[in-house]
């Protein structure tokens, strides 16, 4: 009687163990770039960028930047490097974009050369396939208070796209703080 109980227990454990194992085929599929990565591919390349920005309630200011965007990690992530000058000093922004097949969402991660803050947002593609809306939390550079950040990337055509940043601090209305008009270098 004892060998049958041990056999049954081992069988039950092996079935339970097998059910807890990951589906390796599904994991491999989710681990590869897919159709949503092709949407981001429209942002790859070299760009001149017209910049309109403001801090808080200050008047809008204009500037320019260069952007180089290339795929890293075998097409899993798009790394964008913006270079410009702010306040007469060199200014660099590194941004990593991707699509998370597990969470089924686009994401952005950004760091800048003039501070230690990071920006992380996540969101989705509109049904028409032309706009990526993302949202996250940040810090307002004027008040140093937490704020809600919303980014809107609009794919206009093969050689033009915009990125707009909106900020909401506390009970204040949401305001547009940055517009980046990208034009492909030819």
Instruction: Provide the percentage of residues in the chain whose pLDDT is more than 90.
Output: 67
**Could you say which architecture CATH assigns to the domain 34-184?**
Beta Barrel (2.40)
* Predicted pLDDT at 29: 79
Long-range contacts of 151-159 (CB under 8 A, 24+ apart): 151/108, 151/121, 151/123, 153/43, 154/130, 155/39, 155/42, 155/43, 155/129, 155/130, 155/131, 156/130, 158/42, 158/184, 159/183, 159/184, 159/186
Quick: pLDDT tens for 16-34.
555 677 788 887 777 888 9
Quick: pLDDT tens for 79-129.
999 999 988 899 999 999 999 999 999 999 999 999 999 999 999 999 999
Instruction: Provide the percentage of residues in the chain whose pLDDT is more than 70.
Output: 90
Q: Is 0.75 surpassed by the pTM of this model?
A: yes
* Predicted pLDDT at 13: 52
Q: Report, as an integer, the average pLDDT of 36-42.
A: 95
* Predicted pLDDT at 12: 57
Quick: pLDDT tens for 118-144.
999 999 999 999 999 999 998 888 888
Close Cβ partners of 115 (under 8 Å, ≥ 6 residues apart): 141
* Domain locations along the chain: 34-184
Question: With bands split at pLDDT 50, 70 and 90, how would you rate the model's confidence at 171?
Answer: confident
Mean pLDDT for the chain overall: 89
């Amino acid at each position: 009687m004892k060998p049958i109980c041990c056999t049954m227990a081992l069988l039950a454990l092996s079935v339970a163990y097998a059910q807890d194992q990951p589906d390796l085929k599904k994991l491999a599929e989710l681990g590869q770039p897919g159709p949503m990565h092709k949407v981001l591919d429209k942002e790859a390349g070299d760009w001149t960028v017209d910049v309109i920005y403001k801090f808080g309630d200050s008047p809008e200011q204009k500037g320019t930047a260069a952007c180089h965007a290339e795929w890293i990690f075998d097409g899993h992530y798009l790394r964008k490097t913006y270079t410009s000058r702010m306040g007469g000093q060199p200014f660099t922004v590194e941004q990593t974009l991707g699509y998370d097949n597990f969470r089924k969402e686009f994401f952005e991660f950004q760091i800048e050369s003039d501070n230690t803050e990071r920006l992380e947002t996540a969101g989705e593609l509109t049904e028409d396939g032309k706009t990526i809306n993302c949202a996250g939390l940040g810090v307002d550079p004027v008040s140093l208070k937490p704020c809600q950040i919303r980014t809107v990337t609009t794919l206009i055509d093969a050689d033009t796209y915009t990125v707009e940043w909106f900020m909401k601090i506390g009970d204040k209305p949401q305001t547009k703080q940055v517009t980046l008009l990208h034009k492909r270098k030819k």
